[in-house]
Amino acid sequence: MYLGTQVAARDDDDYRVWAQLGVNHISADPPGPPSSWILDDLERHRDHVESFGLVLDMIQLPLPSQPIEKATYPDILLAGPDRDRQIDAVCRMIENCAKAGIPAVKYNLNLIGIPRTELERGRGGSLNEAFRWDKTDQQAAPGLAGLLPEDENWERIDYFLERVVPVAESNRVRLACHPHDPYTPPGYRGVTRVLGTVEGLKKFVLMRESPYHGLNFCQGSIGEMLDNPREEIDDIIRWFGSRGKIFNLHFRNIRGGKLSFMETFPEEGDMDMVRSLKVYQEVGYRYMVMPDHVPRIDGRDPTGVAFAFCYGYIAALLEAFGADTTKIA
């Protein structure tokens, strides 16, 4: 396992900074709308990334974490009339990734986005994302997704996987799906989010089973599903890791748990991140370890500084465990 990032580069200076910090592996998308990407765009983007001494490990399929109202290919999740054409476009993108030498893609199967309540104060006055069910509009009206019960949600997911997983397997491109963030009770905003529980994620990775079908394993999001994240998380890592179902790792922490939590810097939350990283090593995890959702801090470059802190924290842990923190290719 090795240090990575999925932060979008603001300009070429960010690529230079990552190279200077030893963040040599990245998930980064080509310029322009995803629906316009062709093989030439992916190859040109890969060459640009590599010109800074970096490796393009992954891109995001046009199935992001945004609400379905902002989706590039909404019919995939809405089972709309253009669903098959949109799935075919995703399959072509996977094939082009293989041709461009990009070994993995990440994606979301998300309909209502990432629900959060108001920001809360964290260490030293930082502003941190939080979710408190008792502060949520629990009767919020459904959005574009309408009413979506559990069985129908699974049917739509299986329809997608049945067509996409064989393409990923034949092209040897890993499909890394992000969990739903956070867990919400069944029927919230009309949708029962089946990838918002550990049991749902287990069912998901065993559907259309393939060594190229797994998770963008967000430890923070999975902690948000648990009553006691500190005590429960390591066995969950073992279950997915021992089956080879973790293809990317969002290494972030929270304070709290199911339906009531605040995001934190990695070393100040409730989960023992040192212990967890040992478990990832034990199960043979061998891809990027990256920060995600950092608190908002003060200063001239708050995002850059907050992420730089997390890169250093992860790099130090990896070095302490004897991992190759700056692996290239």
The pLDDT tens digits for 204-213 are 999 999 999 9
Q: Is the pTM here over 0.85, yes or no?
A: yes
Q: What is the pLDDT of residue 322?
A: 86
- Entry field: residues in the chain: 329
Which residues of the chain, if any, have pLDDT below 70? Answer: 324-326, 328-329
Whether 103 contacts 172, CB under 8 Å: yes
Looking at residue 323, its pLDDT comes to 73
CA distance 271 to 240: 18
Q: Where are the beta strands (DSSP E) in the chain?
A: 2-5, 25-27, 55-60, 104-107, 117-121, 127-132, 174-177, 213-218, 246-250, 253-257, 260-264, 288-290
Instruction: Choose among 16, 15, 39: nearest CA to 28.
Output: 15
67-101, pLDDT tens digit by residue?
A: 999 999 999 999 999 999 999 999 999 999 999 99
Sheet holding 260-264, edge to edge: 117-121, 127-132, 260-264, 253-257
Give all domains of the chain, ordered by start, each with its CATH number: 2-320 (3.20.20.150)
Which residue type is seen at 251? F
The CA-based angle 195-219-98, given to 5 degrees, is 75
